[in-house]
Structure 1
């Protein structure tokens, strides 16, 4: 019996002690790959992510992979109903690069940016000075808005819905792009102004529509709020992985800001009431 204990029990005790001495690895879920940064992403969701043409979320993934010393590998799936179920929850990947804070489908990291919906107008028009949706200059104009998005409520409150042009909220971006259609309509004069989520509209304007101006809607005081904190999303329960990403976000926030700023994403304060200048 003593010999059996020496051969079996003692090694088990040593193994437990070794595991206890490495708390990070002891708690990290076995579902998180240690060979690659496995990213869940939409293959046709530019300017955020793209399989053929990378977006700024791809650049963020490259940054995180570099800091972890891991290659980046993607699980591609359209950003629509079933996205989380078929990617993150199916354990085919370990992180979604951009996810709104507080969404219960995922465990959120600390936010790495706060952004806001924006009014987009021709930069040489009188509308370039508008800062709120209650501005009288918007009365009677045809404004593009994504159906069901928070700005639509503000437009209704200010009497702007009657002539609004609605664009679809849920689409397969491999086949259509309401945001790009809206900006094309604006340049063609079919609408007088557009309202888009800043991280979507800002980069599209910077890339393809230099004659347009992006005005972050930071002065709206009534609900619903128009600013949102964006995090990385991981599987529920994987707290060690969450903390590891939190640490990377905290230590490399300047590099993250630089990527977002270069892309044209309007960054605002955590309370959504001031535009941040991170170009310094």
Structure 2
């Protein structure tokens, strides 16, 4: 029996091309079905949470469907080490909502652009510029990242104008024991803890409308020559060596642009839209 089997068995190179094509197709299909592993924060609305209620949850789901790959989350609090220990260690393949050109990843074309905004109570004078004289008299909330100089653009803009004594800081990360801790700065306006707050647009737009009554969101006026920009393009990120996945996600973001914009608008994100095909 073994001798007959040996005589009938052909080396792989002798298999008909049609058979090789089928084998190749099966292997490619298997590769395409590998999960798209996304690192995301389980408690970071409006961006993401473990219940899939954030707008980034909705957008990465669209991308995974477009790539015909099952979506798999790797939940990790968005703290120091998020990129290094998640994406770049190989724990996941993709992260959403990082600034375009960020050095810690290979970033896709931007899928939206947003801006810092001022949040104030309805009926009170709205602020649209850091040069507004009233800012020297009003209590101002700003988001802070740390004490190592890596603070948010509004914090730097106020410091440049020597507006310091009436500023109250709210950590970007917030108290993780609470639900959606990043909302604290917006809620502080509603309660009167601060008079006005300078907040990243997606955070402000989402939580300002949750307050009763809804708070007023005003884009921060800037100029092209300003040293501290307030407007940023937002991309997704893959490992710097994963150029093939980047190209696939780029294609998905371009094709899905209308649906993505609809999601962003539904979450109250102040969108300064970008033409992803031109990037």
TM-score bin (small chain): 0.7 to 0.9
User: Which of the numbers 243, 247, 252 marks the counterpart of 1:248?
Assistant: 252
- 2:141 aligns to what? 144
Give CA deviations for 1:194-240 in whole Å, capped at 9, x if unaligned.
11111112111123454311112143451111111111111111111
Contact conserved, 1:202 with 1:266, CA < 8 A, in 2? yes
Distance 1:179 1:230 in 2: 18
Task: Give the SS at the match of 1:146.
Answer: strand
Contact conserved, 1:132 with 1:220, CA < 8 A, in 2? no
Deviates more, 1:257-266 or 1:63-72: 63-72
Distance 1:238-1:231 versus aligned 2 partners, 3 A rule: same
Query: 1:71 Cα deviation (Å)?
Result: 2.9
- 2:236 aligns to what? 232
Q: Do structure 1's residue 71 and structure 2's residue 70 form an aligned pair?
A: yes
Query: Which has the higher Rg, Structure 1 or Structure 2?
Result: 2
Query: 1:250 Cα deviation (Å)?
Result: 0.9
Distance 2:178 2:191 in 1: 21
- 2:219 aligns to what? 216
Distance 1:258-1:120 versus aligned 2 partners, 3 A rule: same
User: Which of the numbers 146, 155, 158 marks the counterpart of 1:155?
Assistant: 158
Aligned residues: 258
Query: 1:86 Cα deviation (Å)?
Result: 2.5
Query: 1:176 Cα deviation (Å)?
Result: 7.3
Q: Do structure 1's residue 165 and structure 2's residue 179 form an aligned pair?
A: no
Q: Structure 2: where are the runs of 5+ without partners?
A: 1-8, 145-150
| TM alignment of 1:31-110, pairs within 5 A | 34-52=33-51, 54-110=53-109
| TM alignment of 1:126-141, pairs within 5 A | 126=125, 128=126, 130-141=127-138
Distance 1:193-1:179 versus aligned 2 partners, 3 A rule: farther
Deviates more, 1:149-158 or 1:208-217: 208-217
Task: Give the SS at the match of 1:202.
Answer: helix
- 1:265 aligns to what? 269
Task: Give the SS at the match of 2:209.
Answer: helix
Q: TM-score, normalised by structure 1?
A: 0.81
Distance 2:207 2:11 in 1: 63
Q: Structure 1: where are the runs of 5+ without partners?
A: 1-5, 272-280
Distance 2:104 2:167 in 1: 32
Contact conserved, 2:105 with 2:240, CA < 8 A, in 1? yes
Query: 1:11 Cα deviation (Å)?
Result: 5.3
Deviates more, 1:140-149 or 1:164-173: 164-173
Deviation >6 Å, runs of 4+: none
Task: Give the SS at the match of 1:87.
Answer: helix
